[in-house]
Chains A and B, each alone.
Chain A
Amino acid sequence: MIRLFNWLRRGSLERGLDRELQYHYDRRVVDLTSAGIPEPEARRRVAVELGLAQVREEVRDVWFTRWLRDFLYDLRFSLRSLLRTPGFTAATLLSLALGIGATTAIYSLVDQVILHALPVRDPGRLVLIDWRGDHVVGGFGSFNLMPYPLCRDLQQQTRVFVGVLCRSDEVPVNLSAGGDPKPVAAELVSGSYFSVLGVGPALGRVIQAEDDTAPGASPIVVLSYDFWQAQFGAAPDIVGRKVLINQHPMTVIGVAAREFHGVDVAIVPALWLPASMYAQAIPGIYDERLLQSPTRWMQILGSLRPDVTLAQAQAGLQPWFKGWLEENTRRPGFPVITADRRRRYFGSALQLMPAPQGYSPLRRSLSEPLWLLFAATAVLLGLACLNVASLFLARGSARDREIGTRLALGASRSRIGRQLLADSVLLALTGGAFGIVLAPPVVRALIAFLPGNYADAHALHSAISLQLLAFTFLASVAAGLLSGIAPALHSGRDSLISSLRERAGTAFGGVRLRKCIVTLQVAFSLILVTGAALFVRTLADLLAKGPGFDTTRLVSFSLAPLKNGYSRADSARLIRRIDGEVRALPITRSSAVVRFPLLTGGSWSNPFIIQASRRIVTDRDVHENAVSPGFFATLGVRVISGRNFDGGDVRPAGETGRRRSAIVNQAFVRRYLPGVDPLGILIGEGSGPDVKPETVIVGVVADFSYRNLREDSEQIFFPIFEGDDFGGTFYVKVRGTSEQAFQSIRQIVGNTDPQLPIVSFRPLDEQVNRSLNTERMLAALSAGFGALALLLSLIGLYGVMSFVVTRRTREIGIRVALGATAGSAIRLILSDALAMIAAGVAIALPCVAALGRLVQSQLFGITATDPATVAGAALILAAGTLAAAFIPAWRASKVSPTDALRLE
């Protein structure tokens, strides 16, 4: 470090040394002359004694150390020589900038989504506490769901934890602060949430343990910093202000610390509410005693004590958890279960997982695609390095004379090799700088590709962090070393005399090394091209398959009247009324309401009991939905047998009763009722011995997608207007455009209740596209990478073959002179290229097979080693590279023997 500092002030250091030495010199001369030695003789003697030039060199070595000096001189020299060959420099810079930029961009996402630790106290000690085994009790939310009482009781385990917190998934609530209610994302948290994370307020105070005791007793809100800035203009008097959450008055008590965005990287909550306010935040919740009940709806995170390891904590909790499980069975709402189920329930254990990055379903769904893309960019960067290496070798052969001269003047081989390394490192660092400039727009584009609205929520950003800079720097240096090492090792290996004697450009120039490089390039490219082909086919297959229903001119929107203060009965009445009015619109072809929206990635699901010839419990959860009579017609889904829902399946709003009829899909019949007439069979929701199957299957419909396009799993439908459904998603088949439809629908909803927000109004085509975002990202990026890789290896092959032709001009000339045909000359060159391509393919195939297992889960409809796809990719690659080799081969065939021989 001090050496680099010395380098920066080397001017003043040099001047000081000159003065110091001059002083010595003068004093010595004066002393000698006064001793009677004549001045010229004295000067000569002192100069010999001191050896000024050598002293200066030695002192400089002290200042900067040898290698740093040499390296910095090398850099200067490299810069000059690179500026002299702008074409070469631009080509290498472009390869490296693309490679490094792409790697940096993907790494930015990998870091944010997968690696980044939360800005909280001791993120390294955060653990996610999960339940391994049979939960028995259902719940709502995404993953790793636990009951609230478990969180409360775990807080007493102070031998293991400093503190334990729990939080709900994102809960959409309607917030009004003076104006119309707006839907925003809230997070319900335990009173320990902020203290365990060590997150303080930016303003006011945060939620504390006292705020999370009795249900409904603490109508308080903590805003996130960003939301306070964006929605309240950073109003300094925000603390104490009254707002309405789902029409319930609440008081803002504070704003959370600026850097804290919640524990889920994908979701930035606008506000936090105490868990005790669940009834206000989640209106219409079916379980009215959430703080006591075994219903699972929250994730639990704990902060381990410093003296406890993860394994100790996990082992230490089990005895206590056994007792807790026993206690849990006595909670209100715990179902009656069979002895077998009971055994499995008591076999459950708590599992702790390190969670320094918090909790994130985004990480769950994206980490695999992101690592894949990261690996692909790394391969691409490797390819770019190989390309640069081969360009260097080409330049190296042109520079053989220069290098030969330097060797003859006494430079060591390692010194020259280092000079070449300096070239490549300088190029790579410059490429890295361009890459850094390139990265933010690429990251922004990538974020737009991600499923969901992560870009809108500002959950992910494209800013360059210090860590990212460090990564890019390391990647650049690695790329520089990688692309420079082969040419550096190779430099000066040819005989000194021969290189001096030959004219520049005709030297042997490491053809064998360059052929190896091209072979590797072909192998790398084939891996990337195969990956691209697999992902493109996956996307194409999914698009061709579609969701199983007709999405043209189909739009959807959601209403949640309970969040605007409606009672269940009023809400059910409102939904029915709006349903009627939408159906009466002239622009509507047909329309329907469902309880749970399609293609969101989530679903409503439960195990079912089927009373066929014997009582069957479904071996996995069946997806269910409640739909209005026109639903299947609106989506264009065929009713295969039995009847559709009709007016007989409707009860007046507010009236409830048992479910009378159900429609199942073909997948359900295939799995559970093969070879049986499903019509008339009784089913019941749940799996316990107390469940009475009393709902009749009245119809069977064709399969279509529920959670996403990939699956057509078992589904059961109930009539929505038979129960007290209080909200829902409307599907409307329209005659005009979706904009016209939106106008009319907004008018209807506005006339009914101007305060009621319409949530996520979208054409279904757009939703299908949205649900395929991950697949599209993989397909688009891998196709881009594949094309780049192909291009790089074409250039590489073309370069080396041109070189070979130039070098063998004389030989070819002689062959032609002796009667060889143009065709045989072409064959001669092409067979050379073909050998490289074949070797590359041979290297790549086992790699493709090995890597296939990693990508399999991202594919749809094909296996990773699908022979046709792999063969197709190899064929594309072989055709492209052969075409690239053909140009120099053609040139070889045009060699005129007289010219070729005269050349020598």
Chain B
Amino acid sequence: MPSPRFPIPQGTLDMLILQILSLEPAHGYGIAQRLEQISRSVVQVNQGSLYPALHRLEQKGWLRAEWKQSETGRDARFYSLTAAGRKQLAIEKDSWARLSGAVNLIFEEGSR
């Protein structure tokens, strides 16, 4: 069975979805697979929790969805980033960088 993985931190799933979609549009299953690949053996993403997140981001206007033919020939719901979504991703990346920087600083301070 899978090696010990820790659950994805609260709130970072949205950021990861935006990041994945910033490369290219994808459907839900595709996003799940990419998450699986990227985070293999590091973080654990519940496949089910992906869909509420996608719909929430769509409602906020950061994602746009449309039905298109997928690689298997069946219609799938493809998500892509809107301009607002792109802006949001930049904001989240920035605040993430600042937060992790700050945390690192505190750790270094403490270990000195």
Q: Are A49 and B77 neighbours in the complex by a CB distance under 8 Å?
A: no
Q: Are B56 and A62 neighbours in the complex by a CB distance under 8 Å?
A: yes
- Quick check: is B32 within 8 A (CB to CB) of the other chain? yes
Which residues from A are CB-within-8-Å of B27?
20, 23
> Known interface pairs A23-B27, A23-B28, A24-B28. Does A2 touch B59 (Cβ–Cβ under 8 Å)?
yes
- Quick check: is A19 within 8 A (CB to CB) of the other chain? yes
Q: Are A58 and B52 neighbours in the complex by a CB distance under 8 Å?
A: yes
- Quick check: is A843 within 8 A (CB to CB) of the other chain? no
Contact of B55 among A26, A49, A63 (CB under 8 A): A63
Q: Are B48 and A51 neighbours in the complex by a CB distance under 8 Å?
A: yes
Which residues from A are CB-within-8-Å of B28?
20, 23-24
- Give the most central of A27, A49, A51, A63: most B CB within 10 Å: A27
**Main secondary structure on chain B at its contact with chain A?**
helix
- Quick check: is B112 within 8 A (CB to CB) of the other chain? no
- Quick check: is B47 within 8 A (CB to CB) of the other chain? yes
Which residues from A are CB-within-8-Å of B48?
49-52, 54-55, 58
Q: Are A62 and B47 neighbours in the complex by a CB distance under 8 Å?
A: no
The residue of chain B having its C-beta at the shortest distance from the C-beta of A24 within the complex is B29
Report the minimal beta-carbon distance from B55 to chain A, rounded to whole angstroms.
5
CA distance A52 to B48 in the complex (A): 7
Q: Are B59 and A62 neighbours in the complex by a CB distance under 8 Å?
A: yes
- Quick check: is A133 within 8 A (CB to CB) of the other chain? no
CA distance A49 to B27 in the complex (A): 18
The residue of chain B having its C-beta at the shortest distance from the C-beta of A55 within the complex is B48
Q: Are B77 and A62 neighbours in the complex by a CB distance under 8 Å?
A: no
The residue of chain B having its C-beta at the shortest distance from the C-beta of A52 within the complex is B48
Which residues from B are CB-within-8-Å of A2?
59
CA distance A51 to B50 in the complex (A): 11
Which residues from A are CB-within-8-Å of B96?
none
CA distance A3 to B33 in the complex (A): 31
Contact of A20 among B46, B56, B72, B77 (CB under 8 A): B77
Question: Using a CB-CB cutoff of 8 Å, which residues 48-67 of chain B contact chain A?
Answer: 48-49, 51-52, 55-56, 59
> Known interface pairs A24-B28, A50-B47, A63-B59. Does A19 touch B77 (Cβ–Cβ under 8 Å)?
yes
- Quick check: is B16 within 8 A (CB to CB) of the other chain? no
Q: Mark A7-27, 1 if CB is under 8 A from B, else 0.
A: 000000000110111011011
Which residues from B are CB-within-8-Å of A23?
27-29, 70, 74-77
Interface size on A, residues (CB 8 A): 22
CA distance A55 to B74 in the complex (A): 22
Q: Are B52 and A62 neighbours in the complex by a CB distance under 8 Å?
A: yes
CA distance A55 to B32 in the complex (A): 14
Report the minimal beta-carbon distance from A364 to chain B, rounded to whole angstroms.
54
**Main secondary structure on chain A at its contact with chain B?**
helix
Which residues from B are CB-within-8-Å of A16?
77
The residue of chain A having its C-beta at the shortest distance from the C-beta of B28 within the complex is A24
- Quick check: is A463 within 8 A (CB to CB) of the other chain? no
Which residues from B are CB-within-8-Å of A21?
51
> Known interface pairs A24-B28, A27-B29, A51-B48. Does A62 touch B55 (Cβ–Cβ under 8 Å)?
yes
Q: Are B72 and A49 neighbours in the complex by a CB distance under 8 Å?
A: no
Interface size on B, residues (CB 8 A): 19
Q: Are B56 and A49 neighbours in the complex by a CB distance under 8 Å?
A: no
CA distance A562 to B55 in the complex (A): 81
The residue of chain B having its C-beta at the shortest distance from the C-beta of A20 within the complex is B77
- Quick check: is A59 within 8 A (CB to CB) of the other chain? yes
Contact of A24 among B32, B46, B49, B59 (CB under 8 A): B32
Which residues from A are CB-within-8-Å of B59?
2, 62-63
Which residues from A are CB-within-8-Å of B47?
24, 28, 49-50
Which residues from A are CB-within-8-Å of B70?
23
Q: Are A20 and B51 neighbours in the complex by a CB distance under 8 Å?
A: yes
- Quick check: is A649 within 8 A (CB to CB) of the other chain? no
- Quick check: is A61 within 8 A (CB to CB) of the other chain? yes
The residue of chain A having its C-beta at the shortest distance from the C-beta of B77 within the complex is A20
Report the minimal beta-carbon distance from B39 to chain A, rounded to whole angstroms.
15
CA distance A17 to B55 in the complex (A): 10
Report the minimal beta-carbon distance from B73 to chain A, rounded to whole angstroms.
12
Which residues from B are CB-within-8-Å of A19?
75, 77
- Give the most central of B27, B51, B70, B76: most A CB within 10 Å: B51
Q: Are A55 and B29 neighbours in the complex by a CB distance under 8 Å?
A: no
Which residues from A are CB-within-8-Å of B46?
49, 51
Which residues from A are CB-within-8-Å of B56?
62
Report the minimal beta-carbon distance from B36 to chain A, rounded to whole angstroms.
11
Which residues from B are CB-within-8-Å of A54?
48
- Give the most central of B46, B49, B55: most A CB within 10 Å: B55
Which residues from A are CB-within-8-Å of B76?
20, 23
CA distance A61 to B27 in the complex (A): 21
Q: Are A55 and B72 neighbours in the complex by a CB distance under 8 Å?
A: no
Question: Using a CB-CB cutoff of 8 Å, which residues 15-45 of chain A contact chain B?
Answer: 16-17, 19-21, 23-24, 26-28
Which residues from B are CB-within-8-Å of A28?
29, 47
CA distance A54 to B55 in the complex (A): 14
The residue of chain A having its C-beta at the shortest distance from the C-beta of B52 within the complex is A58
CA distance A19 to B32 in the complex (A): 17
Q: Are A61 and B77 neighbours in the complex by a CB distance under 8 Å?
A: no
Q: Are B77 and A27 neighbours in the complex by a CB distance under 8 Å?
A: no
Q: Mark A834-854, 1 if CB is under 8 A from B, else 0.
A: 000000000000000000000
Question: Using a CB-CB cutoff of 8 Å, which residues 13-51 of chain B contact chain A?
Answer: 27-29, 32, 46-49, 51
Contact of B51 among A26, A27, A49, A55 (CB under 8 A): A55
Report the minimal beta-carbon distance from B77 to chain A, rounded to whole angstroms.
5
Which residues from A are CB-within-8-Å of B72?
27
Q: Are A59 and B51 neighbours in the complex by a CB distance under 8 Å?
A: yes
Q: Are A58 and B74 neighbours in the complex by a CB distance under 8 Å?
A: no
Which residues from B are CB-within-8-Å of A50?
47-48
Which residues from A are CB-within-8-Å of B74?
23, 26
Report the minimal beta-carbon distance from B48 to chain A, rounded to whole angstroms.
4
- Give the most central of B48, B49, B74: most A CB within 10 Å: B48
Q: Are A55 and B52 neighbours in the complex by a CB distance under 8 Å?
A: yes
- Give the most central of A20, A26, A55: most B CB within 10 Å: A20
Which residues from A are CB-within-8-Å of B32?
24
Report the minimal beta-carbon distance from A169 to chain B, rounded to whole angstroms.
58
Q: Are B51 and A58 neighbours in the complex by a CB distance under 8 Å?
A: yes
Which residues from A are CB-within-8-Å of B51?
17, 20-21, 55, 58-59
* Apart from the given pairs A17-B51, A19-B75, 7 other A-B contacts in the complex at a CB distance below 8 Å: A20-B77, A23-B27, A27-B72, A49-B47, A55-B49, A59-B51, A62-B56
Residues of A within 8 A of B (CB): 2, 16-17, 19-21, 23-24, 26-28, 49-52, 54-55, 58-59, 61-63
Top 10 closest A-B pairs, CB basis? Answer: A58-B52, A51-B48, A55-B48, A62-B55, A20-B77, A24-B29, A62-B56, A27-B29, A50-B48, A59-B55
A-B contact pairs, 18 of them (CB 8 A): A19-B77, A20-B51, A20-B76, A20-B77, A23-B76, A23-B77, A24-B28, A24-B29, A24-B32, A26-B74, A27-B72, A28-B29, A49-B47, A50-B48, A51-B48, A52-B48, A62-B55, A62-B59
